Amino acid sequence: MKERLYEILNEEKIHEIIPFLKQLSMEERKVLVPSIKKLDREISKIVMTKNSYHTAGSVNQHSIIDIASFVCMDKKNFGKNYWSLFRNAEQTEQILEWGCPEWFSDFINESVEAEFTAFNYRDILGWTEKGYVQPKPELLGHHLSNYPADLDRHPETLNTHFWYLCEYPSKSLPFRKEWFPIVQKLIAEKKIDRKRFLRECLLASNRNFNKNVTGWFMDAFTSLKPTEEELSDLQDELLAGLASSQSKAVNTILSHLKKIVGIPDFKNEEFSLHLPNLLGSEVKTVVVSSLMLTEKIFQKKKIDPEMLGMALSTAFVSKDDGVQSKAAKIILKYIPVSENIIEALSHYSDNILTNVRPLLVKYIEERQPKLEVIASEKLSLATEENAVRVLQNFEDLMFYLPVAMDDPYSQHCDIALTGFIRFAGDVDAQSVKLIEPVFLKACKTISKWEVPYLNVLLCNAIINYGLSLLEQYPVQLKNLERIYQKTKDEEAERESYSNYQKKLGPIESVGADCPARQAFKELAIYAFQKIKSGDKIPLLFPITHAPCWISPVTLVERLESYQNADAEPHHLDIQLALQRCALDNTAEAIAEVEKRLKGEYKELMLFFLGKNAKPEGNFKHPSWWMTAGITRSPETVFEEFTGFGYDTIPAEFFSGDYKWKTIDTRKNSYYPVELNIVIPKYHLEKRKEPLFMEYFVAEQKELSEIPALMLCFPNTPANALAKVIKHCLFYSGIAEVYERGLVLNTANTLYQIKKPLDEIGYLFLGTIFMDSDKTIRGTAAEMWLEHVSGQIMDNARLGRVIGMHEKLEWAPVKRFTDLIQHHMLNVSKNHNIALEELISNILLQMEAPVTNLKKILEIYHEVLALNHSEAHHEVTKKINTWKENSSLKKICNLFLKK
């Protein structure tokens, strides 16, 4: 039986597969399933050619396997293959006639989840007639959405299935342009009930459809131009739609409610119940439309003013001047003073803008509550709260290694490495069994196509360690050989691909396709040699405090271990340790240096920790001293280092002082303004003691690893930030998922480092303040809030960056003003003072008025009022020239009246 299947497949006898399967019993078909799966894997293997690739099997062979799979497998084994078998409709029909699987109906009903299918609505109707499928409404609605044709062929299509389309539409419905004219035609011909369709359109607002599908129904509703009578009859559905999560639905419904606000039976009370949520919306158009509708109700209806007035107070959640002014004017005109209104407004009193408060003087306290001054907290880099775990024994190590494999670019890898060197030799015949699940996980992890590079190194070290234990404990670890052989065979298959980097074997042979990876490979070789040899002198570079810091006292203790053993640390190990050292509190460490260290170690650390202003002593290891100088004082050129031979490295990589500017290139009509940063090209030079930094600034293939690599340079992150700016932030609206993810990860990493920013740090932060991604902007605001609280934020420098971008309109100003209103305004007195300096420096960069400059000026006016300050005199001069602009005249005069 299996041989016959192999023969049909190998000789491509596609005409013989159905007769062969027909003669098999159900049990025989089940027996064939493993063979079918094996053959499917073989014909699906990718074969690379010089210019392209293809699968190992021919078209006929794939068809044979598709037919055999469908006939012999159950639904679980067949999977969700909604495409291949059904491409040949005639062949599918032949199979169904004699061998329709019992699971076929469920399988077809589940096709609503498929991205593509090779069958359509017409096929489903045919299968239903023959009893193969018992279709669910979801199936019929979904597939009819994608089949706007032959609607009169089957009576149930328009009588029943069309209404399933309204309830269970396909995501692709909005992109079927034929449906709009078809629906209008069917309604005109009275083949579809107009009122029922209008109701279904409104019900779509709360059916959890995506915004495209919801928008389609809203557009369909509007295009049918419902009459006042129809709108009146549909009030319940209209009002229910106001709770929709889709702003398009809410705005559409509000626009139609305005048309019937004057009718006698307009449901004022029901609308007032929705008003607080509408006015609390983050979408300004929803808030403005709701205020306009509320005003129309007051104009056209005799109602109890408190009913809407209480709800109207919610408008002051918004910090938008226009929204608050409009709400205040409605209250002033239509709502008398009462205890209830005063009580309702008191909940929002802190949020009411200073220029709106005078309008509401009868309704709120005249004196605005004072904000507290938040006590400044110095941000310490190495405290008990962020100290990392210390492993205690071999068992701890075995339980922790899987954690490190799951997140290799985190503190877990450092913790695991430290434990590996301490406890790798502490193994006996009982505890050695703990290595098997760790070894298995390492093999499974390294077997994947895409594996983070540090994971490749860590897993390889675990595998090689496991193999060495196998030699010592062959009985206890007999399974390791089988696990390893399988992993080795899988890699052998992948090695035929030209771009494959070797992962298994001696760690020296692991591939490293860029300089940054070469550095980590060198450290991995060094660490594994220590593990193999039983050398327990600790590595210098593992962190002691999350996310990336080494306590300077611990570094001194580790150096003493090398001094006492008369051993020399690896040049990259000591450099990475210096780069990660927390330099915010060095007094205790300096005392320990003078007590414990001698010779070059002592001279190096006294210079590095700031006791000696200049390097002094015998410079035996230039790379150590150079790294200490760059990390401690990147902007300083130490004359003592001029003979070290590193003068071929561009100065920017030492200082982090990159040239940048925002320029109007007009190259891209959608994004005419570009952020341009110049990064010199550098190729890794062969030298006796290369700098760790050289590996990082040289051409780097894996840009996605930059946020993790930043944690190797927490004191000097400029080189990493410059790369992300150059590749991901040249335009303000890059929408690709990869770039957005990289920028967000970089922003989160910079936030975690908690160090004062340098020039490129301010460029990065100022730029992401206006990023198109809301989450990235929110991270920027959080960083600003924390740095202001810790008094390490230079708002003048940050303001200059934002101002230089916005004077050329690099990004919409609204992104920044929304961020201020929702996250940065009125947090504390300190933050308001910082915000004043920030906005002053933004405005100082401005020349001609830009789009939405009015909004910045409104916020600036509010901040000045909160701080009881006057505008910067140079800003006032600019405002005096901007007042000639019609849109700015009103706000400029508010400044100039003072």
Q: Within 45-178, where are the H helices?
A: 59-72, 75-78, 89-99, 104-109, 121-129, 137-145, 155-156, 162-167
**What burial class does residue 213 get, using C-beta atoms within 10 Å of its C-beta: 0-12 exposed, 13-18 middle, 19+ buried?**
buried
Q: What is the pLDDT averaged over residues 681-686?
A: 90
Residues β-bridged to residue 47: 54
Tokens describing residue 688? 């006796």
Q: What is the pLDDT averaged over residues 163-187?
A: 94
Tokens describing residue 864? 């000045």
Place of tokens 């006042």: 228
Q: How far apart are CA 581 and CA 632, in angstroms?
A: 10
Please report the pLDDT score of residue 783 as a whole number. Answer: 97
DSSP per-residue string spanning 558-619: HHHHHHHHT----HHHHHHHHHTB--S--HHHHHHHHHH--HHHHHHHHHHTTSSSS--S--
Least confident of 100-114, 325-339, 692-706, 743-757: 692-706
Q: What is the pLDDT averaged over residues 696-703?
A: 76
Which candidate, 152, 81, 87, places its Cα nearest to that of 115?
Answer: 81
Q: What is the pLDDT averaged over residues 867-882?
A: 93
Q: Are the beta carbons of 678 and 701 closer than 8 angstroms?
A: no
Residue 673 pLDDT exceeds 80: yes
Please report the pLDDT score of residue 618 as a whole number. Answer: 87
Question: What percent of the chain has pLDDT above 70?
Answer: 97
pLDDT tens digits for 498-550? 667 788 989 999 988 889 899 999 999 999 999 999 999 999 999 999 999 99
817 Rama sector, left if φ>0, alpha if ψ -120 to 50, beta otherwise: alpha
Q: What is the pLDDT averaged over residues 606-614?
A: 95
Q: How far apart are CA 235 and CA 242, in angstroms?
A: 11
Number of Cβ within a 10 Å radius of residue 530: 19
Residue 606 pLDDT exceeds 90: yes
- The helix or strand, by DSSP H or E, that contains position 676, with its residue range, turns out to be strand 673-677
Q: Within 711-812, where are the H helices?
A: 718-728, 737-753, 759-768, 774-789, 795-806
pLDDT tens digits for 380-390? 899 999 999 99
DSSP state of 448: S
Q: Rounding to the nearest 10 degrees, give the CA dihedral for residues 709, 711, 713, 718.
A: 80
Q: How far apart are CA 310 and CA 335, in angstroms?
A: 10
Please report the pLDDT score of residue 553 as a whole number. Answer: 97
- The helix or strand, by DSSP H or E, that contains position 256, with its residue range, turns out to be helix 247-257
Q: How far apart are CA 220 and CA 214, in angstroms?
A: 10
Q: How far is CA 86 from the centre of its chain?
A: 38
Place of tokens 């003691």: 689
- The helix or strand, by DSSP H or E, that contains position 662, with its residue range, turns out to be strand 660-664
DSSP state of 169: -
pLDDT tens digits for 303-312? 778 888 888 9
Q: What is the pLDDT averaged over residues 673-687?
A: 92
Q: How far apart are CA 817 and CA 843, in angstroms?
A: 13
Which candidate, 662, 657, 611, places its Cα nearest to that of 632?
Answer: 611
DSSP per-residue string spanning 811-829: S-HHHHHHHIIIIITTS-H
Please report the pLDDT score of residue 46 as a whole number. Answer: 76
Q: How far apart are CA 455 and CA 9, in angstroms?
A: 41
Task: Output the pTM of the full model.
Answer: 0.79
Q: What is the pLDDT averaged over residues 389-409?
A: 93
Q: Are the beta carbons of 118 and 90 closer than 8 angstroms?
A: no
Q: How far is CA 747 from the centre of its chain?
A: 11
Please report the pLDDT score of residue 493 as a whole number. Answer: 76
Q: What is the pLDDT averaged over residues 146-168?
A: 94
Q: What is the pLDDT averaged over residues 229-253?
A: 96
Residue 675 pLDDT exceeds 90: yes
pLDDT tens digits for 43-91? 888 776 667 778 888 889 998 999 999 999 998 989 888 887 788 888 8
Numbers of helices and strands, H then E, in the chain? 46, 4
Close Cβ partners of 188 (under 8 Å, ≥ 6 residues apart): none
Residue 377 pLDDT exceeds 80: no
Q: Are the beta carbons of 463 and 446 closer than 8 angstroms?
A: yes
Please report the pLDDT score of residue 277 as a whole number. Answer: 94
47 three-class SS: strand
SS3 content of the chain, % helix, strand, coil (to 5): 60, 0, 35
Q: What is the pLDDT averaged over residues 335-343?
A: 90
Q: How far apart are CA 533 and CA 475, in angstroms?
A: 23
Mean pLDDT of the chain: 91
545 three-class SS: strand
Tokens describing residue 633? 């004082």
Helix 435-446 and helix 394-406: axis angle, to 10°? 20
Please report the pLDDT score of residue 301 as a whole number. Answer: 75
Question: What percent of the chain has pLDDT above 90?
Answer: 71
Which candidate, 632, 779, 594, 592, places its Cα nearest to that of 715?
Answer: 632
Residue 472 pLDDT exceeds 60: yes
Amino acid identity at 321: D
- The helix or strand, by DSSP H or E, that contains position 677, with its residue range, turns out to be strand 673-677
pLDDT tens digits for 478-500? 999 999 999 988 888 777 666 67
